Amino acid sequence: MAIPKNIKILLPWSLLDQPGMESRAEQLSAELKAEVSLGHPLYGLDAKAVASRIDRDDVLFELEGAPNYLAVVHLTWHREEDPRWPSVQFFKDWEHWANEDMVPAHNDR
């Protein structure tokens, strides 16, 4: 995970690269893979969970092979057949995510 040094993670987000959180990151990545169906924008992409919100089921994933390499996904915790779910929002880089998602969520607390 290559979080730029100028990005400070703010609540309600929490990084998953902390000691003891490796299994949680793997669990969230596996859950995403189980939830997406054929036709979903993330279907077939490698996604690694890097942060999660502590107040809802939103997870930030790093994506391999995608032009927008970060995505926030609202996990549903069951297998979806409708490719509109789970919902996903893409971000072109860390600054875009911080400005459009993390900081507003922090300010709304």
Residue 8, in any domain of the structure: no
pTM: 0.94
Residue 32, in any domain of the structure: yes
Indicate the pLDDT class of residue 49, thresholds 50, 70 and 90: very high
Residue 1, in any domain of the structure: no
Residue 17, in any domain of the structure: yes
Residue 61's SS3 state is strand
Expressed as residue numbers, the domain containing 24 is: 13-107
Residue 64, in any domain of the structure: yes
Residue 96, in any domain of the structure: yes
Residue 7, in any domain of the structure: no
Residue 66, in any domain of the structure: yes
Task: Give backbone dihedrals phi and psi of 13, rounded to 5 degrees, phi first.
Answer: -90, 150
pLDDT value at residue 1: 55
Number of folded domains in the chain? 1
